[in-house]
């Protein structure tokens, strides 16, 4: 059976001061549409419509966000929210879902989706996902990633290289030659011009059973803990075992823990599906700015922000207070974000360094 899981456990520190520990970016209503402001998680949940049955949709997130999610997305019952007692990186989020789904459905195939992307059009996304599901349903030892055609030489994204087409996939399926993590600019420019590299979207389709077997080989300590959680799932000991075991699982990303060693593993085949969509990873203020309409000088202001910009170019103003004026004079490439208790001012080119500033903040401001 087909399932889907949204990973929604990120802290969103590169979108501070709007994204906070108690209300991270995926739960912050700052994506503006005609019908009002919505969260990234709202958008991600809508993306599953028509993809899998509502009863087979899951969100993996920090347990402390359960109530917020239930209030925003009542279609997700408690059974469909996989609450992590502590953040343990993406391999454990994927392993957690695989362990639960395998117990419920030994033939489970599940999509791993993200809570911080904007993807259009929906029908192209759904078509690529359907191909990914079919590839794994045909051969459960396949690991499927989704590639986005790069539009500029990004150095903040990972890349996946195409090795050859997979038949009967409408020209969208391909074999994967290798993964490359966040290259230098010169390499990224080469990848863009070569035409056989895609941005690694961070979305996957896996067989739950295959993921568990790979974890047993690559990360035996994690596997042992996840098996304990699986055995207790659905029993009176479920929460006690989860709280006891999950925080002890070693942290690692799914790319490094599974996809990288799997490329050398004869038991599995890594495949990709090209997703010809407009794709925006809303992981920083410059990427968020792309969701806002520019003026003739490419300045942007979030809806509800009272902004005055004179002799400015490529600058962005964001405020949570409609009565507070953000005024910029003679600025270029500047980002200003105002909240009731904190104001951020930084050059857009420093966006990737915001985590360094975040580390120095008082706990009450994080």
**Residue carrying the six token digits 């580390």:** 359
Q: Do residue 111 and residue 166 come from a single domain?
A: yes
In a domain, 288, yes or no: no
Average pLDDT over residues 345-355: 94
| The predicted structure's pLDDT at residue 101 | 98
Q: Do residue 268 and residue 337 come from a single domain?
A: no
In tens, the pLDDT along 41-84 reads: 999 999 999 899 999 999 999 999 999 999 999 999 999 999 99
Q: Is the pLDDT of residue 34 over 90?
A: no
Residues 6+ apart with CB under 8 A from 151: none
Range of the domain at 114: 2-281
Q: Do residue 28 and residue 84 come from a single domain?
A: yes
Residue of 205, 201, 206, 177 whose CA lies nearest to 274 = 201
User: What's the token pair of residue 290?
Assistant: 């792309």
CATH code of the domain covering residue 245:
3.90.550.10
In tens, the pLDDT along 319-344 reads: 999 999 999 999 999 999 999 999 99
% of the chain residues with pLDDT over 90: 91
In a domain, 286, yes or no: no
Q: Do residue 349 and residue 206 come from a single domain?
A: no
In tens, the pLDDT along 185-218 reads: 999 999 999 989 999 999 999 999 999 999 999 9
Element (H, E) at 134: helix 122-138
Q: Do residue 192 and residue 337 come from a single domain?
A: no
Final residue belonging to a domain, choices 281, 302, 329? 281
In a domain, 287, yes or no: no
Final residue belonging to a domain, choices 235, 252, 281? 281
Count of structural domains, the chain: 2
Q: Do residue 318 and residue 256 come from a single domain?
A: no
Q: Do residue 188 and residue 266 come from a single domain?
A: yes
In tens, the pLDDT along 214-267 reads: 999 999 999 999 999 999 999 999 999 999 999 999 999 999 999 989 989 999
| The predicted structure's pLDDT at residue 352 | 86
Residues 6+ apart with CB under 8 A from 63: 83, 84, 85
Q: Do residue 272 and residue 308 come from a single domain?
A: no
| The predicted structure's pLDDT at residue 261 | 93
| The predicted structure's pLDDT at residue 11 | 85
Q: Is the peptide bond before 174 cis (omega within 30 degrees of 0)?
A: no
The string of DSSP codes covering 44-71 is HHHTTTTTS-GGGEEEEEEGGGHHHHHH
Q: Do residue 163 and residue 20 come from a single domain?
A: yes
Q: Do residue 55 and residue 170 come from a single domain?
A: yes
Is the Cβ–Cβ distance between 356 and 348 less than 8 Å? no
Vertex 14, ends 153 and 308: CA angle to 5°? 90
**Residue carrying the six token digits 């994967």:** 176
Final residue belonging to a domain, choices 219, 254, 281? 281
């Amino acid at each position: 059976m087909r399932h889907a899981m949204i990973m929604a456990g990120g802290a969103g520190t590169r979108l501070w001061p709007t994204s906070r520990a108690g209300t991270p970016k995926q739960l912050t209503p700052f994506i503006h549409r005609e019908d009002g402001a919505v969260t990234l998680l709202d958008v991600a949940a809508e993306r599953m419509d028509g993809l899998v049955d509502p009863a087979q949709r899951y969100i993996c997130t920090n347990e402390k966000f359960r109530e917020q999610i239930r209030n925003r997305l009542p279609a997700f019952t408690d059974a469909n929210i996989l609450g992590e007692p502590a953040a343990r990186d993406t391999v454990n989020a994927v392993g957690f879902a695989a362990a639960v789904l395998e117990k419920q459905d030994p033939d489970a195939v599940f999509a791993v989706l993200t809570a911080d992307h904007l993807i259009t059009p929906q029908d192209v996304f759904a078509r690529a996902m359907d191909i990914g599901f079919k590839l794994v349903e045909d051969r459960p030892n396949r690991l499927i990633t989704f590639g986005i055609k790069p539009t500029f030489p990004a150095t903040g994204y990972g890349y996946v290289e195409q090795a050859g087409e997979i038949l009967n996939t409408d020209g969208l399926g391909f074999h994967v030659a290798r993964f490359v993590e966040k290259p230098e600019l010169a390499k990224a420019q080469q990848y863009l011009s070569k035409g056989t590299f895609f941005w690694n979207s961070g979305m996957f389709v896996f067989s739950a059973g295959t993921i568990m077997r790979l974890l047993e080989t690559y990360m035996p300590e994690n596997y042992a803990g996840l098996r304990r959680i699986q055995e207790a799932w659905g029993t009176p000991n479920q929460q006690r075992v989860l709280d006891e075991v999950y925080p002890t699982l070693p942290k690692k990303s799914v790319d490094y823990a599974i996809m990288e060693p799997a490329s050398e593993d004869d038991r599995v085949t890594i495949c990709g599906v090209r997703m010809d969509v407009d794709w925006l990873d809303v992981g920083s203020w410059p990427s968020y700015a792309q969701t806002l309409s520019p003026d003739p000088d490419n300045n942007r202001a979030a809806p509800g922000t009272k902004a005055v910009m004179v002799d400015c170019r490529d600058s962005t103003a964001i405020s949570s207070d409609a009565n507070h004026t953000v005024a910029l004079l003679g600025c270029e490439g500047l980002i200003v974000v105002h909240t009731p208790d904190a104001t951020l001012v930084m050059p857009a080119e420093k966006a990737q360094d915001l985590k360094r500033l975040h580390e120095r903040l008082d706990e009450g401001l994080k």
